[in-house]
Amino acid sequence: MVAVSGCLAGLKCRYDGRSKARIVVKEAAIVALCPEQLGGLPTPRLRAHFVGGTGEEVIAGTARVVNALGEDVTAAYLRGARETVAICKRLHIRKAYLKEKSPSCGVRFVTVDGKLTRGMGVAAAMLRKARVRLVSVP
């Protein structure tokens, strides 16, 4: 069993209420997860980005996630990441296909202070700490 960002699996859970259905996993059964929805954020919702660092710094408490109005949504991103990790642990999931550039799921790139930056989203960083193998999907 593998985890897949919900939007990649065809769920209309992106911030704009759409999906990014791009992935077909043939190796295992999939569990589609949206950390942002698991954190309590609505769909659709305002686009969000990092201020002061990436998901790893958010986990460390030195950066924040804010939406397009400048509202701090860090707590929801942390809650969603924790729920995502908990589900993966309960289901013994060791691999996750995640949507690149997402403040939750980005594996290699995220937006920090308005610039595309090398780094991870909040859920991706927590999953990596939990030893889940991450696969970046554009």
d(CA 136, CA 23): 11
Q: Calculate mean pLDDT across residues 36-65.
A: 98
- Give the model's pLDDT for residue 33: 97
With 90 as the cut, is the pLDDT of residue 28 above it?
no
Higher pLDDT, 41 or 28: 41
Report pTM: 0.96
> Which ranges of 1-138 would DSSP assign to H, the alpha helix?
35-38, 55-60, 74-90, 122-129
Give the domain ranges of the chain: 2-137
121 pLDDT tier (thresholds 50, 70, 90): very high
Cα 131 to the chain's mean position, in Å?
A: 16
Measure the N-to-C terminal CA separation of the chain; round to a whole number of Å. 21
% of the chain residues with pLDDT over 90: 93
Q: How many CB atoms lie within 10 A of CB 62?
A: 10
% of the chain residues with pLDDT over 70: 99
- Give the model's pLDDT for residue 26: 73
Q: Can you read off the two tokens belonging to residue 92?
A: 């013994």
108 secondary structure, DSSP code: S
With 80 as the cut, is the pLDDT of residue 98 above it?
yes
What rounded mean pLDDT belongs to the chain? 96
Q: Calculate mean pLDDT across residues 26-54.
A: 95
- Give the model's pLDDT for residue 133: 98
- The dihedral region occupied by 57, where left means phi > 0, alpha psi between -120 and 50, and beta the remainder, is alpha
